[in-house]
Amino acid sequence: MFRIGAHASVAGGVHNAVEEQLEYGGNCGQIFTHSPRVWQEPAIDNDEAERFRERSAESGVGPWVIHSSYLVNLCTPKEGLRQKSIASMQAEVDAAARLGVPYVNVHLGAHTGAGVEGGLDNAASALAELDVPDGVTVLIESDAGSGTKLGGSFEELAGVLERCELDLDVCLDTAHLFAAGYDLSTPEGVDETFAQFDDVVGIEHLEYVHLNDSKHGCGTNKDEHAHIGEGLIGEEGMTAFINHDAVADVPFVLETPTEDGKSFAWNVERVRELHGA
C-alpha cells in the first residue's frame, strides 16, 4: 500500500495525532513527543500510549516516526551538550517502544570545529551509547548541509553507519537533498541521486522519506520547504521521485508549510495525484 502522511500534533494527548492524521487523509505520520525546542522528557502515560497504539491499529495508520528534539547535537565536541543529546535520544527511543513506533529520526547536528571526521566519530560514539529497545530503529536524516552541520552528503551518512556499532538506517528529506546539491528536479536527476545513494549508503538503509519541495535552488544549502510540486524541485521532479522504484515500499511524511490556503491535507492529496500520474 502507498504510504503518505504528515507531521501531526500530540496536543491534548498523543492519541489525538491519529485523529489529526485521518483528517489529513494520511495513513502514516510523524510526531514530536514534546516541544522540539526545549530539553524535555516525553510525558506519555501508559493509558495514552495504549490509546495511541489501539487507534493506530484500528485505523491502519502507520508506520509512525518520532522526530527528535532540534536541540540534539550528536556531532558536538562539547561534553555537556553531548550528554544531554544522548539522554534525550534515550528518552525518545524508550517512548517509541511504549507507543509501538518503529522509528526515531534524528539530525546528526554540527561539528562546531571538531571537523568532519571528528564530528562523525562523535555522532557514532554517542549513538552507540543508546540502549535501543527491540523493534525500534534510529534513522539518520539527511541535512541541507549549511555551516558545520553534517549529513548533507551521502558519504557523511555512510560514515556514521559504518562507524557505529548500533544498527542504523536513513531518512532522506527531499528538500534537504536538493539544498545539499542533489538535483531532484528532473527524472534523470532523481535516477542519479538514487544510484549514488545505493552506491555510497545502500538502498536497503532507506526506511523513511520526508517529502518536501524546496523554496531555494539546488546546492544553496538553504532549508525552506514548499508545497509539493510548487517549489524549485517542481512537479516533474516530485512525480519522478514519488514513483521511483527505489521508494516503492518506503513511507513518505510531509513537512510542508501551511500557507497560501494550502494545508497538509492539500499536500497529501497532491502527492496521491502525482503518485497516480
Specify the higher pLDDT residue, 41 or 90. Answer: 90
Strand-strand pairing, 213-214 and 225-226: antiparallel
Among 257, 252, 260, 259, smallest CA distance to 25 is for 252
For the chain, percent of residues with pLDDT exceeding 90? 98
> Mean pLDDT across the stretch 18-31?
98
Q: What is the 3-state secondary structure (H, E, C) of 100-151?
A: CCCEEEECCCECCCCCHHHHHHHHHHHHHCCCCCCCCEEEEECCCCCCCECC
Convert the pLDDT of each residue in 182-222 to its tens digit.
999 999 999 999 999 999 999 999 999 999 999 999 999 99
CATH number for the domain that contains residue 99: 3.20.20.150
Alpha helix stretches (DSSP H) within the chain:
16-24, 46-59, 79-99, 116-128, 154-163, 174-179, 187-200, 234-242, 264-275
What is the Cα–Cα distance from 144 to 77, expressed in whole angstroms?
21
Helix (H) or strand (E) holding 5: strand 4-7
- If you average pLDDT over residues 97-103, what whole number do you get? 98
Exposure of 228 in the CB half-sphere (CA atoms within 13 A): 28
- What total number of domains does the chain contain? 1
Q: Are 223 and 176 in contact (CB under 8 A)?
A: yes
Residue (of 132, 160, 145, 136) closest to 74 by Cα position: 160
Q: Which three cell numbers stand for residue 126?
A: 554517542
Query: Quick one: pLDDT at residue 277?
Result: 56
For the record, the C-alpha cell of 114 comes out as 571538531
pLDDT over threshold 90, residue 12: yes
Q: Encode pLDDT of 125-143 as tens digits.
A: 999 999 999 999 999 999 9
pLDDT for 41: 87
Ramachandran bin of 234, using left for φ above 0, alpha for ψ from -120 to 50, beta for the remaining angles = left
Domain membership of residue 263 as a residue range: 4-275
